[in-house]
Amino acid sequence: MLAFYLSLVQTPQEKEKVEQLYHTYRHVMKYIALELLRNETLAEDAVHDAFIRLIRHLGGIADVASQKTRSFVCIVARSAAMDVLRAEKKQTTVSIDEVAEPGYTPDPCAAMEMRSLLAALEQLPVNHKDILSLKVYHGLSDGRIADLLGLNAATVRKRLQRARAALADLVKGEM
């Protein structure tokens, strides 16, 4: 418990990091949100929401200026924008993530090559790409991904499975 509380103690570095993130990435975050939302106000709302998520995961950001952080911020901004978009549309359709799992998860890695992987990634839907990136590239746990993307852990696992399967199919097609 003590360790838990200690982990929450604010440091001047954290404060600095938050403001650094804000000044470094707010424009690119807005750009990403605008791309999806096509509305200034909604985009700003999304950026605000994204910052709330980033603040919750501040500990996972080591170097604000790094490519990894930039990619991380972009994913979070895109996710927040998608949530805003979803809320705006007030869609009542069932999420694809809620549909029963096909149970087929081939492992294509044995024959993977960088080129085919890159080509496959290019074609992968953005939500799959983001979740794979958070898992593999950023090394986050399912729980943290769920928190960042506003999903529950089960959905994250399902989406990861789907992403993996989709990537495997695409890689097969490339090879």
Minimum CB distance to another protein, residue 67 (Å): 6
Instruction: Pick between residue 21 and residue 91 the one whose CB is nearest to another protein.
Output: 21
Nearer to another protein, 96 or 118 (CB): 118
Indicate the residue among 91 and 175 with the shorter CB distance to another protein: 175
Q: Find the shortest distance in angstroms from Cβ 94 to another protein.
A: 27
Closest CA to 54 of 36, 89, 34, 80: 80
Cβ distance to another protein smaller for residue 58 or 85: 58
Give dist(CA 99, CA 113) in Å, integer: 31
Our CB check for another protein shows the closer of 91 and 173 to be 173
Least distance to another protein, CB of residue 158, Å: 15
In the bound state with another protein, the residue whose beta carbon lies nearer, of 44 and 97, is: 44
CA angle in degrees (0–180, nearest 5) for 35-44-21: 95
b/e code 70-89 from CB counts within 10 Å (16+ = b): eebbbbbbbbbbbbbbeeee
**Shortest distance in whole angstroms from residue 93 CB to another protein:** 28
At residue 57, the 3 state secondary structure works out as coil
Question: By the criterion CB under 8 A, which residues form the site for another protein?
Answer: 1-2, 5-6, 8-10, 14-15, 18-19, 22, 26-28, 30-31, 34, 40-41, 44, 47-48, 51-52, 55, 67-68, 70-71, 74, 107-109, 112-114, 117-118, 121-122, 129, 132-133, 135-137, 139, 164, 167-168
With contact defined as beta carbons under 8 Å apart, do 21 and 73 qualify?
yes
Contacts of 165 (CB under 8 A, 6+ apart): 102, 104, 105, 106
Residue 7 beta carbon to another protein: minimum distance, rounded to whole angstroms: 9
Q: Which residue has the tokens 């993130």?
A: 21
Q: In the complex, what is the shortest distance from the CB of residue 127 to another protein, in angstroms, rounded to a whole number?
A: 14
Alpha carbon 8 to chain centroid distance? 23
